[in-house]
Amino acid sequence: MFGISDNDLTALWITLKLAVISTSILMLLSAPLAWWLAHTQRRSKVIIEALVAMPLVLPPTVMGFYLLVLLGPRGAVGGFLEDIGVGHLAFTFTGLVIGSMIYSLPFVVQPLQNAFASAGGRMLETAATLRANPLDRFISVVIPLARRGILTAAVLSFAHTLGEFGMILMIGGNIPGQTQVASIAIYDHVEAMDYASAHSLSLLLVALAFILLMSVYALNRRFKVVGIG
Amino acid sequence: MKNTAQLTTITALCCTILLTPLVAAAELRVASAANFLSTIKELAAQYEDQTGQQIRISSGSSGALYAQISNGAPFDLFFSADVKRAEALVDDGMAYADSRFTYALGIPILWSDREDWLEDPQETLRAGDFRFITIAEPRNAPYGAAAKQILSDLDLWQRFTQEGRIIRAQNLTQAYSHVASGAADLGFLALSQLKDKEGEIPGSFWRPPAELFSPIEQQAVILKRAEDHNAAREFTDWLRGDEARDMIEQAGYAIP
């Protein structure tokens, strides 16, 4: 394409890979949590809700800093991994996946929680009286009813990871081919006064984001972004 | 005649009184590359003590400061970490060509916070008995470019790049935090970053011989939008003097 180097294409590829992997894992892990939050009567759930919403409020530098401390060789997680001979997670793709999952957590849990809250009730009880087992009830009743919320969660998480910058700057290490994502590559181009390359890659991201969002809207014309919070 | 003389005296006095606060208040606004920040602060404090001239210092990466200045940021002086950006401002017509001078030569060092790590530095590097080595992004940071040259001269750049061991920090401060946090085992940093007040360096380090890299010339320019051009000249003249040169050398730079 116009003036896009192999290195920039690699960065773009890593960005997409990161978005797909972290969104997929996050969706799977968040579903039970969102379900619990949607249906529990316990007062203590406000603590969990507050924790889930934290990444919305915290600057990426705070998360990047603590993740570096946590995942690095002297942190609880990184130190443990060093001890068992796996090696710490700072500057690794796995580290980025973990970071992105924390970073996008509220963007997944909150739409899911809203969707699940409205997907319970009468239909679910009816399915239960018809002897549908819990898994069957979830797959044939809840998922279709919560479809919009699920789609919203996935798209928001994906898009949010695509635009991630500050945290990756701190824990990524900017290794070409491994942890150098598109946003960092663009930043480097700008700092190096290589505006042509910055433009090419930025425009590609703009186009990508637009096509991505538009196809989602086209796929489901009734698709509406469920409000966050 | 007498009246005229009195009038002149009074006018002169009034002008002096009126202008004095203005002159005293015209502080020099300095934009400094982050690696020179602590040194320029000490220099400025010394200069303020001696002359009463007020100096206000902002810092950032040379690239970011260059962009700010190009877009009209109100600075009188720019201390870049390289030649390129000082030169670019002259070429853009934003700085005085005759004001450009090298105020310091950077000294890159390879550093580990472990005491025993770098007894035989080249061997440590060749053995590759470490996981990550951090450098400042070579395209943007002169110390990073020097690090790349040094590793290339030792025939290690290609290998480390392929093995994904080279971390590219945005700047030297970030590179320092990588090594200090233990996330990177080694890092190419600036001597000026690591020298403490007593001139000691914690951990262990290697100062690569000068023939392995091209000199890291750090240049300053006076910007054309300087409010008080003379004050800026006087300060840069003072920086070329022995006292300032000694202070710069103490801080971990070589003197041109």
Among the partner-chain residues A175, A188, A192, the one whose CB lies closest to the CB of B167 is: A175
Per-residue pLDDT reduced to its tens digit, B168-206: 998 888 999 999 989 999 999 999 989 887 888 888 899
Q: Where are the domains of chain B?
A: 28-105+216-254, 108-206
Chain B residues touching residue A87 (CB < 8 angstroms): 131
- Please tell me the distance from the alpha carbon of residue A168 to that of residue A154, in angstroms, as a whole number: 20
Chain A residues touching residue B131 (CB < 8 angstroms): 87
Among the partner-chain residues B63, B166, B177, the one whose CB lies closest to the CB of A191 is: B63
Among the partner-chain residues A72, A192, A194, the one whose CB lies closest to the CB of B183 is: A72
CB contact under 8 A, B61 and A177: no
Chain A residues touching residue B179 (CB < 8 angstroms): none
Per-residue pLDDT reduced to its tens digit, B65-112: 998 999 889 999 999 999 999 999 999 999 999 999 999 999 999 999
**B161 interfacial to chain A (CB closer than 8 Å):** yes
Q: Choose the weakest-confidence range: A121-130, A166-175, B143-152, B193-202.
A: A121-130
Q: What is the 3-state secondary structure (H, E, C) of chain A?
A: CCCCCHHHHHHHHHHHHHHHHHHHHHHHHHHHHHHHHHHCCCCCHHHHHHHHHHHHHCCHHHHHHHHHHHHCCCCHHHHHHHHCCCCCCCCCHHHHHHHHHHHHHHHHHHHHHHHHHHCCHHHHHHHHHCCCCHHHHHHHHHHHHCHHHHHHHHHHHHHHHHCCCHHHHHHCCCCCCCCCCHHHHHHHHHHCCCHHHHHHHHHHHHHHHHHHHHHHHHHCCCCCCCCCC
**B130 interfacial to chain A (CB closer than 8 Å):** no
Output the six-digit token pair for A119.
Answer: 């997907």
Domains by residue range for chain A, with CATH: 6-223 (1.10.3720.10)
Which is nearest to A38 in space by CA: A107, A102, A120, A101? A120
Reported ipTM: 0.76
Mean pLDDT, to the nearest integer, of A151-164?
91
**Closest Cα in chain A, distance from residue B136 (Å):** 10
Per-residue pLDDT reduced to its tens digit, A43-75: 889 999 999 999 999 999 999 999 998 999 999
CATH T-level fold of B108-206: D-Maltodextrin-Binding Protein; domain 2 (3.40.190)
- Read off the pLDDT band of A225 (50, 70, 90): very low
In a mutational test of the A interface, the residue from B61, B80, B139 whose CB has the highest number of chain A CBs within 10 Å is B139
- In CATH terms, are B28-105+216-254 and B108-206 the same topology? yes
**Which pLDDT score, from 0 to 100, does residue A228 have?**
42
State the count of interchain CB pairs (< 8 A) between A and B. Answer: 65
Residue A229 has pLDDT above 70, yes or no: no
How far, in whole angstroms, is CA A74 from its chain's centroid? 26
**CATH H-level superfamily of B28-105+216-254:** Periplasmic binding protein-like II (3.40.190.10)
Mean pLDDT, to the nearest integer, of B194-219?
90
Residue whose token pair is 């991630």: A164
Higher pLDDT, A137 or B3: A137
Q: Residue B137: which H helix or E strand, with range?
A: none
Mean pLDDT, to the nearest integer, of A120-139?
79
The answer to whether B74 and B228 are in contact (CB under 8 A) is no
Percent of chain B with pLDDT over 90: 66
Higher pLDDT, A12 or B118: A12
CA atoms within a 13 Å half-sphere pointing along the CA-CB vector of A4: 16
pTM score over 0.95: no
Rg of chain B, C-alpha, whole Å: 22
